[in-house]
């Protein structure tokens, strides 16, 4: 029975209006705007003698979630008995979650004695027939399906943009700012980019994450949370630098020039809780913006992050992560006794009463000095600096090779050209509208332009010396009295200490003068700690 027929309807009662609009409502958003809903419902209520007591509004809130501020305020009025009639434009304004919308229509409203009217759906709980009730059920199911479909389309559209390397978040990563000429592009931030470079420089130099955080706090550098507050006045942030903030910077691919997104995702279109995404499932597009650190430094930082050194003392334990017990294979950990740090067998520490191994306790500084002397002796007696540079240069990453980068760019350029040709064919066949074709063609032309520009830069650049990076590290090492952690892990793969304090050093390069190309050496017995 139509909600417009009033001959058998109950006497008009005071009523409230509920208005909702979601940012995901798509092309219907303009016609369903809050202003349009308000004008429509006021006119409808006035024509039928309803006295509108109040309005409850949720602007920009999804219909799949009933935890909306306006709806919660309405629920409170329903529970205290001050509201007995609710009017909405249609059932989808109440919600697009079939189960929850049905619960309100079939259980909550009837138990509270609340009359519910959805005007465009001709639904009035005070006088609808069973047929109208069943129709409401079908409409709720359709609204639920609409929400799922809209959510899937929005997610697919966003993923397309992400895979094109477009930045989609509201606030940029620490160290960057959004390009004023292109909201999808990142530029280094003049204020915070030097802080990111400092974090990497200190970490690669052997400083712990806690020590780096302490240093930044002491120099009163605003942490990322406070920096966000400066950009986003609608939210309040506080706090100081800590080890976790340092870890997030050190592990974020954005700082080597790669656009990395989709670190979390919602459980479903109904459940908006976010879950972390495994790193292998992140969407990462290389070379989308200017890097703040080199790929070699970023890769070294990832290797060092996998090593759990002393994060609380601030002491740079240069051997942790590469030092192991020669007898049981367990890693050696650092522990301070008196004024010295000692390396100890973790296998013994874990189960000392089982006597599977011994403590292998050895002063850390003596072990480090032995490794240093072994490296210097090898270079001095057997290997010239040029030979070592050549050996280290053989381990260069293929993805940093300009010829490989040119090949990949040429492949991207060819792919974009083919895609543009296919788009022309689809438009001619009527598969694409003029608007869709214009958007796709513009994006592909931009991709081609970016590829051509990058190719021109690569072709104009002089051919790089493949051993330049390794040579710089080797010569820097030869001038130093001590090692930095990044240097050590570049040259040494493994250090083993046995019960008699003999140290075996396995190098990260091949000694061409050794028989069979072996790359390990044993040092003399070290003094007792």
Angle between helices 295-305 and 193-204 (to 10 degrees): 60
Tokens matching residue 255:
């700082």
Quote the pTM value.
0.40
Tokens matching residue 102:
């049905």
Q: How far is CA 65 from CA 32, 98, 137, 321, 496, in A?
A: 18, 11, 18, 47, 58
Half-sphere exposure of 483 (CA within 13 A, CB side): 23
Question: Which residues, 6 or more positions from 340, have their beta carbon under 8 angstroms from its beta carbon?
Answer: 363, 364, 365, 529
Give the Cα separation of 340 and 453 in Å (integer). 56
Under DSSP, the state recorded for 183 is: T
CB atoms within 10 A of CB 136: 22
The H-assigned helical ranges of 312-401 are: 346-350, 364-381, 385-393
Give the Cα separation of 365 and 275 in Å (integer). 44
Give the Cα separation of 266 and 459 in Å (integer). 44
Tokens matching residue 235:
């939210």
Question: Which residues, 6 or more positions from 56, have their beta carbon under 8 angstroms from its beta carbon?
Answer: 16, 17, 18, 19, 70, 71, 73, 74, 77
CB atoms within 10 A of CB 135: 16
Q: Which fold has domain 14-153?
A: Rossmann fold (3.40.50)
| Residue whose pair of structure tokens reads 């064919």 in the numeric block | 425
CB atoms within 10 A of CB 524: 11
Under DSSP, the state recorded for 169 is: S
Give the Cα separation of 495 and 374 in Å (integer). 11
Tokens matching residue 264:
């979390």
**Tally of residues, the chain:** 529
Task: Spell out where 111-151 has E strands.
Answer: 115-118, 123-124
Angle (CA) 157-160-163 rounded to 5° is 150
Instruction: Name the architecture of domain 176-305.
Output: Alpha-Beta Complex (3.90)
Sequential pLDDT tens for the chain (529 residues): 444 544 455 556 789 999 998 765 544 444 568 888 999 899 999 888 899 999 999 988 887 778 889 999 998 888 888 888 999 998 888 887 767 777 888 788 888 888 999 888 788 888 765 544 554 444 544 445 444 444 555 555 566 667 777 887 778 889 999 888 888 888 999 999 999 999 998 887 777 788 888 889 888 888 887 766 655 555 544 468 888 889 889 988 899 998 887 766 654 444 445 566 677 777 788 888 899 999 888 888 887 776 544 444 556 778 877 888 888 887 787 888 888 888 888 777 766 666 678 888 899 988 988 888 887 777 666 656 566 555 555 544 444 566 777 887 888 888 778 877 877 887 787 777 777 777 777 777 877 887 787 777 767 666 655 444 555 655 655 554 556 676 677 778 889 999 888 899 888 766 555 554 456 666 655 555 5
């Amino acid at each position: 029975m139509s909600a417009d027929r009033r001959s058998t309807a109950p006497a008009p009662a005071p009523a409230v209006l509920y208005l909702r609009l979601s940012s995901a409502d798509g092309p219907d958003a303009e016609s369903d705007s809050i202003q349009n809903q308000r004008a429509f419902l006021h006119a409808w209520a006035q024509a039928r003698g309803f006295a509108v007591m109040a309005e409850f509004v949720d602007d920009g809130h999804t219909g799949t979630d009933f935890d909306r501020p306006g709806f919660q305020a309405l629920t409170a009025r329903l529970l205290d008995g001050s509201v007995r009639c609710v009017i909405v434009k249609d059932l989808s304004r109440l919600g697009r979650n079939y189960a929850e919308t049905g619960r309100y229509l079939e259980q909550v409203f009837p138990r509270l004695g609340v009359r519910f009217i959805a005007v465009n759906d001709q639904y009035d709980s005070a006088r609808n027939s069973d047929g109208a009730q069943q129709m409401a059920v079908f409409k709720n199911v359709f609204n639920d399906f609409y929400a799922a479909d809209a959510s899937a389309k929005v997610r697919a559209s966003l993923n397309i943009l992400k895979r094109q390397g477009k930045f989609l978040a509201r606030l940029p990563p620490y160290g960057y700012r959004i390009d004023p000429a292109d909201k999808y592009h990142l530029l280094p931030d003049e204020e915070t980019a030097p802080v990111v470079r400092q974090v990497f420089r200190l970490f690669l130099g052997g400083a712990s994450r806690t020590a780096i955080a302490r240093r930044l706090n002491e120099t009163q550098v605003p942490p990322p949370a406070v920096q966000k507050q400066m950009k986003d006045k609608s939210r309040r942030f506080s706090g100081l630098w800590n080890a976790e903030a340092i870890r997030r910077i050190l592990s974020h691919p954005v700082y080597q020039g790669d656009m990395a997104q989709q670190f979390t995702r919602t459980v479903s279109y109904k459940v908006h809780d976010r879950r972390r995404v495994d790193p292998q499932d992140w969407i990462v597009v290389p070379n989308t913006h200017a890097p703040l650190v080199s790929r070699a430094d970023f890769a070294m930082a990832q290797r060092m992050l996998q090593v759990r050194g002393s994060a609380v003392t601030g002491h740079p334990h240069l051997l942790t992560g590469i030092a192991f017990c020669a007898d049981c294979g367990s890693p050696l950990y650092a522990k301070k006794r008196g004024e010295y740090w000692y390396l100890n067998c973790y296998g013994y520490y874990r189960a000392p009463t089982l006597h599977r191994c011994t403590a292998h306790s050895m002063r850390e500084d003596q072990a480090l000095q032995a490794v240093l002397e072994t490296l210097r002796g090898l270079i001095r007696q057997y290997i010239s600096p040029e030979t070592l540079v050549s050996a280290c240069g053989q381990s260069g990453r293929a993805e940093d090779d300009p010829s490989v980068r040119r090949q990949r760019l040429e492949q991207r350029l060819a792919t974009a050209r083919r895609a543009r040709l296919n788009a022309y064919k689809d438009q001619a066949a009527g598969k694409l509208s003029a608007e869709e074709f214009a958007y796709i063609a513009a994006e592909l032309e931009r991709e081609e332009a970016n590829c051509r520009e990058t190719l021109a830069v690569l072709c104009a650049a002089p051919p790089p010396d493949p051993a330049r990076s390794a040579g710089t590290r080797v010569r820097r090492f030869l001038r130093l009295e001590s090692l930095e952690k990044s240097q050590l892990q570049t040259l040494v793969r493994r250090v083993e200490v046995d019960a008699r304090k003999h140290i075996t050093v396995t190098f990260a390069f091949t000694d061409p003068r050794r028989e069979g190309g072996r790359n390990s050496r044993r040092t003399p017995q070290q003094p007792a700690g």
